[in-house]
């Protein structure tokens, strides 16, 4: 696709010096996806909005909203900008406020990452964290609270991104034209999502004006009401989801549903998984909403299956805002967005050896009980396998051994085969923890692990419990 005039080597970005950072917003790169599109003939590009100075697509609307309020006389010098934000619009507004000398007060739902709260404070904004699990019209809802604060604060404006036409207008004036020019007018499918709907509405509207055949497709988190509403016209019940910045429990004023040809619902797990792949396989460090949008873009590209087509998706914001979430294996597992680590028997005995390096402690059928007892106490083991010719032929548990010796010390000089219990199950080293746990019963207090053709270790009930509690 790269035409000579589009070759970055020929067309360096930011050729001129800027008077201030706001002038550096926009003209973000359009980058082809390669690794994640393996086997798909349709070219797919990502519009790298995370490369804006504030790290997201919302940089475009921050200054636009502020300048519109200045033009209307609503916002006067020394004024305060108030807004309810999932974080990114706050940064876009804070960039404009920093340059123009305004104060910022933002309300943000507690669902959003800590990174975003700290980031807004880093820009000098006052940040109020509100409960996420309240209805859109509840006084503690972040938008409702922002409205109240703006109303009660002298010389303050509410940015009102969900109903402010300056939002989609900014994308109609900038994002749309950039996409058209960067694809040489070849774009056939534009894929985005909707928080306010400003991006998909503004850019979609422009592209359809240039070529009515352009398909505008919206991705929507499972739990948001938008996709359902597009199909039934009914505003259903929303449900919680983890992806941030997109999806809705109401239909914003800035979302023009008529611009969007189709909506597709995507679950958090798929969205987060693809965000991580874009980072690790394409070097595009992005957040979950981008993972969701790219998931739809790949689906569409697969269906279109045409090398002449051109699918473009929005890469909304930087992954740096989700280091404690999308990029934390622990958080992902806690939220069941990633499979638990597959722990195998060999991993279990490895971990034991790290703590107490030693060979498998075992005895032969002829070993005197006295010797077995000495091994149990000296090595602090609860189970002692009895091994003959490399196979487990029985076992001695510490409890039974103690009980029998206390009953009659005469057994001390007997061979262990006289009082051993049935052999322990032997498992292959690749077997995983759930399978081991299923084998561990009253009868089987432990399993032996065969690795490289020999009995390499033992996993007891206590080892599994300790592993599970340590893993918590
Ligand atoms: C991370 C992220 N992705 C996507 C969007 C959607 O953008 P828009 O509000 O233009 O629909 C937002 C909006 O806040 C966002 O924060």
183-231 pLDDT tens trace: 999 999 999 999 999 999 999 999 999 999 999 999 999 999 999 999 9
Angle of helix 398-407 relative to helix 369-379, nearest 10 degrees, comes to 130
Average pLDDT (258-274) is: 98
Mutate to test the pocket of ligand 1, among 176, 196, 294 (most ligand atoms within 8 A of CB): 196
Nearest in space to 215 (alpha carbons), one of 187, 257, 194, 247? 187
Atom of ligand 1 nearest to the CA of 289: 3
- Provide DSSP, 422-453: PPPPEEETT-BHHHHHHH-SSS-SEEEEEETT
Looking at residue 164, its pLDDT comes to: 98
| CB 301, CB 32: distance < 8 Å | no
| CB 298, CB 45: distance < 8 Å | no
Looking at residue 16, its pLDDT comes to: 87
Triad 381, 384, 388: Cα angle to 5°: 150
Q: What whole-number distance in Å separates Cα of residue 305 and Cα of residue 205? A: 25
Which protein residue's CA is at the shortest distance from atom 6 of ligand 1?
Answer: 195
Q: What is the average pLDDT value for the chain, to the nearest integer? A: 93
Q: What whole-number distance in Å separates Cα of residue 327 and Cα of residue 279? A: 10
118-148: per-residue pLDDT in tens?
999 999 999 999 999 898 899 999 999 999 9
For 94: left if phi > 0, alpha if psi spans -120 to 50, otherwise beta; the answer is alpha
Which protein residue's CA is at the shortest distance from atom 14 of ligand 1?
Answer: 245
Atom of ligand 1 nearest to the CA of 198: 10
For the beta sheet containing 80-84, the strands, ordered from the edge strand earlier in sequence to the opposite edge, are: 126-130, 103-109, 80-84, 156-158
| CB 91, CB 67: distance < 8 Å | no
Looking at residue 328, its pLDDT comes to: 95
Looking at residue 162, its pLDDT comes to: 97
| DSSP strands (E only) in 402-442 | 426-428
Looking at residue 10, its pLDDT comes to: 55
Catalytic residues: 58
Q: What whole-number distance in Å separates Cα of residue 275 and Cα of residue 293? A: 9
| CB 291, CB 275: distance < 8 Å | yes
**How far is ligand 1, taken at its centre, from the CA of residue 117, in Å?**
16
For 459: left if phi > 0, alpha if psi spans -120 to 50, otherwise beta; the answer is beta
Q: What whole-number distance in Å separates Cα of residue 216 and Cα of residue 214? A: 6
* Token couple for 13: 């970005």
Looking at residue 443, its pLDDT comes to: 79
| 3 pLDDT higher than 50 | no
Atom of ligand 1 nearest to the CA of 88: 16
pLDDT band at 465 (very low <50, low <70, confident <90, very high): confident
| DSSP strands (E only) in 272-397 | 311-315, 383-388, 391-397
42-96: per-residue pLDDT in tens?
999 999 999 999 999 999 999 999 999 999 999 999 999 999 999 999 999 999 9
Q: What whole-number distance in Å separates Cα of residue 406 and Cα of residue 296? A: 70
Number of H helices, E strands in the chain: 16, 15
pLDDT band at 8 (very low <50, low <70, confident <90, very high): low
Which DSSP state fits 368? B
For the beta sheet containing 189-193, the strands, ordered from the edge strand earlier in sequence to the opposite edge, are: 30-32, 44-48, 311-315, 189-193, 215-221, 262-266
Q: What whole-number distance in Å separates Cα of residue 204 and Cα of residue 190? A: 7
331-362: per-residue pLDDT in tens?
998 999 987 778 899 988 887 777 666 678 99
Mutate to test the pocket of ligand 1, among 107, 294, 316, 320 (most ligand atoms within 8 A of CB): 316
Q: What whole-number distance in Å separates Cα of residue 85 and Cα of residue 158? A: 11
What is the Rg, in whole angstroms, of the alpha carbon atoms belonging to the chain? 31
Average pLDDT (387-395) is: 94
Looking at residue 29, its pLDDT comes to: 97
Q: What whole-number distance in Å separates Cα of residue 221 and Cα of residue 148? A: 29
| 152 pLDDT higher than 90 | yes
Q: Which residue has the tokens 């918590």?
A: 472
Mutate to test the pocket of ligand 1, among 93, 199, 221 (most ligand atoms within 8 A of CB): 199
10 vs 180, higher pLDDT: 180
* Token couple for 60: 């475009």
- The domains located in the chain, with CATH, are 18-339 (3.40.50.1100), 345-471 (3.10.580.10)
**How far is ligand 1, taken at its centre, from the CA of residue 50, in Å?**
11
Atom of ligand 1 nearest to the CA of 168: 10
| Residues framing ligand 1 (Cβ under 6 A) | 56-58, 86, 88-89, 193-199, 244-246, 287, 289, 316-317
- Ramachandran angles phi, psi of 222, nearest 5°: -60, 125
279-338: per-residue pLDDT in tens?
999 999 999 999 999 999 999 999 999 999 999 999 999 999 999 999 999 999 899 998
**How far is ligand 1, taken at its centre, from the CA of residue 269, in Å?**
19
Angle of helix 88-100 relative to helix 61-71, nearest 10 degrees, comes to 50
Atom of ligand 1 nearest to the CA of 199: 10
397-453: per-residue pLDDT in tens?
998 898 999 999 999 999 999 999 999 999 999 999 889 999 997 678 999 999 999
**Residues in a beta bridge with 396:** 384
**How far is ligand 1, taken at its centre, from the CA of residue 162, in Å?**
11
């Amino acid at each position: 696709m790269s035409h000579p005039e589009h070759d970055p080597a020929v067309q360096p970005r930011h050729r001129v010096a800027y008077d201030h950072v706001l002038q550096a917003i926009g003209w973000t790169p359009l980058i082809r996806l390669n690794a994640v599109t393996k086997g798909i003939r349709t070219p797919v590009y990502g519009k790298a909005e995370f490369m804006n100075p504030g790290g997201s697509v919302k940089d475009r609307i921050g200054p636009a909203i502020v300048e519109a309020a200045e033009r209307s006389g609503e916002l006067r010098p020394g004024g305060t900008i108030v807004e309810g934000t999932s974080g990114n619009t706050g940064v876009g507004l804070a960039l404009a406020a920093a340059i123009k000398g305004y104060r910022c007060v933002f309300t943000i739902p507690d669902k959003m990452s800590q990174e975003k709260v700290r980031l807004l404070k880093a820009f000098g904004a006052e940040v109020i964290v509100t409960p996420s699990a309240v209805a859109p019209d509840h006084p503690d809802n972040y938008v409702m609270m922002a409205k109240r604060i703006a109303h009660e604060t002298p010389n303050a404006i509410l940015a009102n991104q969900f109903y402010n036409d300056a939002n989609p207008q900014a994308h109609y004036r900038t994002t749309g034209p950039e996409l058209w020019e960067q694809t040489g007018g070849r774009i056939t499918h534009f894929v985005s999502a909707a928080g306010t709907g400003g991006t998909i509405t503004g850019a979609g509207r422009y592209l359809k004006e240039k070529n009515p055949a352009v398909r505008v497709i919206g991705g929507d988190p499972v739990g948001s009401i938008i996709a359902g509403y597009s199909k039934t016209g009914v505003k259903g019940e929303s449900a919680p989801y983890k992806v941030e910045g997109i999806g809705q429990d109401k239909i914003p004023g800035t979302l023009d549903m008529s611009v969007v040809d189709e909506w597709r619902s995507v679950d958090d797990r798929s969205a987060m998984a693809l965000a991580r792949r874009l980072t690790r396989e394409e070097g595009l460090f992005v957040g979950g909403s981008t993972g969701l949008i790219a998931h739809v873009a790949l689906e569409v590209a697969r269906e279109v299956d045409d090398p002449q087509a051109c699918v473009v998706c929005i890469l909304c914001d930087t992954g740096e805002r989700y280091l404690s979430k999308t990029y934390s294996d622990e958080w992902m597992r806690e939220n069941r967005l990633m499979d638990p680590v597959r722990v195998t028997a060999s991993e279990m005995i490895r971990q034991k050896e790290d703590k107490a390096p030693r060979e498998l402690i075992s005895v032969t059928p002829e070993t005197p009980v006295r010797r077995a007892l000495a091994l149990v106490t000296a090595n602090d083991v609860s189970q002692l396998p009895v091994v003959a010719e490399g196979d487990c032929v029985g076992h001695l548990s510490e409890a039974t051994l103690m009980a029998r010796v206390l009953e009659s010390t005469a057994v001390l000089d007997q061979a262990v085969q006289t009082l051993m219990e049935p052999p322990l199950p032997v498992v292959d080293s690749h077997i995983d923890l759930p399978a081991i746990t299923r084998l561990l019963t009253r009868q089987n207090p432990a399993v032996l692990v065969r690795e490289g053709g020999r009995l390499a270790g033992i996993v007891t009930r206590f080892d599994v419990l300790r592993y599970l509690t340590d893993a918590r």
